[in-house]
Chains A and B, each alone.
Chain A
């Protein structure tokens, strides 16, 4: 199975690899997946509390090329969005943009989970109720 150009590009030049200070109140962290399953994603957002705008996003991913590309693309999309807009990101958008084959859809689901988990972490830290999401089939 050959990877799409976009996956290769994100893999070769990943955007926003790194770590934000998770002790800061305006940083939300999502850690999803499991080492036994062969992929773990950590996605972080930094939010401008006044505007609700995501000013920075970083990721680190243990996984295949598609998992790395999904999280790299997710951080690109997150920056400049408000938290409320970010909640709307759907895994199928990632699938479409990266041309992921069916066996790699779980990588995009994981990235969506990571976004939601980071948002909920941010909401919790700021005294907001955690959002409840419908479980997607992995």
Chain B
């Protein structure tokens, strides 16, 4: 029996692992202390729990526990890294290099930096979603202080060559920040081997709770500092004030431990399921995978089904299958995914895309169910699509004068 509904939006958020919840529960009622309370057992217990979790988190990414700064999530960590470096290293320069397919938390922070007098280069990506290292090197200026490139993309799952990027950065004495939200806990990420100086990641994308994330800040070779964006009690080595979210941190730690121990088996199982899904859906005429298949997260697939619109497509099964589309029919702008457009996809293909994000609790029966539901709906909607009819009649749609509105 297939378990419904099927949740395939794990890039948006993951369900919590019950083992994570179990670890967190004592820190709501019995052990509710403030980790900064140094003079009684309530505080000691909380501090102990935070220390232990900090080790669990650090171990997952090959860091030292002292290099973990807890935040409210990855958006805050992205902000702290970029704004914090921009302010801390103002005397060295004001130029940041990033990429057009970054998450909005990075792009909008960079826009903020520009309004503050900073300069930002937004590198393009090729049609597979990868940046060009030569273009990266060419963009480096004497005033460049930071390269901010995401580890893996949230929409297409494409993994950027972090090691090559950091080698290049190191050669020029530039810091490397990566938004590791989608990659950490899913594929091996090691800040030493990858040469990363700062990295944002979050618990709720790896079966942990929402509202807790971290910024990794390198302490040695080089020692990196960021200017605090939140002032107060001087928590987290002064880089992020605010009473620590102890239950959240405990859950984050447990989630990291589970990810470290189970990553290999999860990734192997999910890539098999993902490939099964992808192979079956590519049997549908005029369907295309978006993003580099050779350098991609094991649990993600982004597919465009030409001549059907993504939101209309999802409506055919969204009672039973949760996923997301690059179409933006509900947004005020009606603009489709900027990530897919950056790959050079026409708006029509971007509007026709679905993102499948598998997770730890996805079953093979659910994938079989999804294959059938998506295939049936695509075929049904194509029978309803004027574009499909034109395509079948051999009409060149580029030559039609569409009434743009």
Contact = CB atoms under 8 A, between A and B. Distances in A.
A31 B312 CA distance: 19
B312 A68 contact: yes
Interface residues of B, number: 32
A62 B386 contact: yes
Interface string B135-177: 0000000000000000000000000000000000000000000
B315 A40 contact: no
B280 interface: no
A1 B404 contact: no
Interface of B: 307-309, 311-312, 315-316, 327-332, 334, 336, 346-348, 351, 383-389, 397, 400, 402-405
A3 B307 CA distance: 22
Given A3-B315, A33-B405, A67-B312, A38 B385 contact: no
A35 interface: yes
A32 interface: yes
B347 A35 contact: yes
Interface residues of A, number: 34
Contacts of A52: none
A62 B387 contact: yes
Contact of A14 (B336, B384, B389): B384
A89 interface: no
Contacts of B383: 17
Given A35-B397, A103-B330, A103-B332, A68 B351 contact: no
B284 to A, nearest CB: 16
Given A35-B347, A64-B311, A64-B327, 8 more contacts: A11-B316, A19-B389, A37-B404, A38-B329, A40-B386, A62-B385, A62-B388, A66-B329
A65 B311 contact: yes
A24 interface: no
B403 A33 contact: yes
Interface of A: 1, 3, 8, 11, 14, 17, 19, 31-42, 60-68, 103-104, 106, 110, 113, 138
A23 B347 CA distance: 31
Specify the main secondary structure of chain B where it touches its partner: loop
Contact of A35 (B312, B332, B389, B402): B402
Contact of A38 (B307, B316, B334, B397): B334
Q: Is the interface of A mostly helix, strand, loop or mixed?
A: mixed
Contacts of B346: 35-36
A121 to B, nearest CB: 13
A124 B138 CA distance: 58
B51 to A, nearest CB: 44
Contacts of B384: 14, 17, 60-61, 68
Contact of B389 (A1, A38, A60, A106): A60
Contact of B347 (A8, A36, A60): A36
Given A35-B402, A68-B384, A62 B347 contact: no
A60 B404 contact: no
B334 A37 contact: yes
